[in-house]
Structure 1
């Protein structure tokens, strides 16, 4: 069920709520700004299809994307604001048995983690889940490009594929903190989109969906569905 399609008497009694968390930030020369949001929405759509009793909230399309500020068009609300928004959002969701935050943007990891810690300390049933990926293919590389070819192929500029930096993310973190993504990868890619395919994207989405379903089952077991 999509919350956007319901009127309040149709909500039912204390369902689980899934909230897609994304970002609006550059994704190299070949992908749109909305990649992370679109992936989170697609995963929640799949979750809702598999578990129709779960309510899916409208997506939160802005997050902590300061590392991409060197590229025009990136919109970021920063870590503190992201954390505060999530804390207040989940506090407002007491009509639900639990809240699952589905974040497809790595830059949201710290504020999401802090928000969940605060909320669980208050006794709220909340968890966060994020998709995984290779350490050397973390942004606009083969993985995300394949997923976007599966989700919205018309948005992928296949004639603009360019390799970026392919070193593992942990090796880049020091420079990323100091210089941002632009200082590390002038084209904004951390990975290489070459070889991306819709078939690989669908397989990745299937695997991620299995993990998300496990997270939802764990949340339901904690809290009362």
Structure 2
């Protein structure tokens, strides 16, 4: 396994020279997850999933980013430590610059928190425009496949700290679950008819949306097995992908591009 956290610069260089030219960046968040889950839940799932998938894939695992765009959770419940969307974009662009400078040609951003997606997509757009031929992808842990998405959305569309997330933590990190709080944690999705996207303090009474009381370890183990298989398959595909057409980003057909 190529884990950058433990590798020397010589080992990184050797891996890249040998053809390992894909990096994986787990992106989590630090935010309230109701009365029953630890604030590092998103980061723990992203880290564990990427570590296990990278162990089976020809990729370099980057250290997990534990902060994300969680400003929608408000300051009502202590524990949330959020980056602004602009800050997260800058962080991703800075990391991407260094990844590209190491000779790595592909970067997969594995997102463990829903509202990181827009800043991550902006970072993707900026990096591929800056570095011609540098490939960047965003993969959301809760939507890696149809089966994974269905499990996450079963008890709420605007879900948070719900059945799926609680079950995953029971299976992966039970020390972060307060099982004595589960019966009081359920809170319904109130957003079905909303036009606007409201912050969590205006949609939930306790920071939860969904039914964590229905979670159990077996559900979590099944869901995680799907997520691991689906992400591992994605990383294997990413590690060999080339652009459909090899044409310069910066060279216009008006100025001598020989491959219009």
Query: TM-score w.r.t. structure 2 length?
Result: 0.79
Deviation at 1:199, TM superposition (A): 1.4
**Partner residue in 2 for 1:116:** 124
* Structure 1: stretches of 5+ with no match in the other structure: none
1:98–1:223 CA contact under 8 A, matched in 2: no
Distance in structure 2 (CA, Å) of the matches to 1:142 and 1:80: 31
**Partner residue in 1 for 2:11:** 10
Q: 1:197 aligns with which of 208, 213, 216?
A: 216
Q: Determine which structure has more spread, i.e. the larger CA radius of gyration.
A: 2
Distance in structure 2 (CA, Å) of the matches to 1:126 and 1:77: 21
**Partner residue in 1 for 2:187:** 164
Q: 2:38 aligns with which of 32, 37, 42?
A: 32
**Partner residue in 1 for 2:168:** 147
2:68–2:83 CA contact under 8 A, matched in 1: yes
Deviation at 1:204, TM superposition (A): 1.1
Deviations 1:27-76 (A, max 9, x none): 0000000010001001111112212x322111101110001123212111
1:20–1:44 CA contact under 8 A, matched in 2: yes
**Partner residue in 1 for 2:86:** 80
Distance in structure 1 (CA, Å) of the matches to 2:41 and 2:193: 24
Q: 1:99 aligns with which of 97, 103, 107?
A: 107
Moved over 4 A (4+): 169-173
How many residues are treated as equivalent by the alignment? 219
The alignment's C-alpha RMSD in Å is: 1.9
Deviation at 1:166, TM superposition (A): 2.9
1:97–1:223 CA contact under 8 A, matched in 2: no
2:128–2:136 CA contact under 8 A, matched in 1: yes
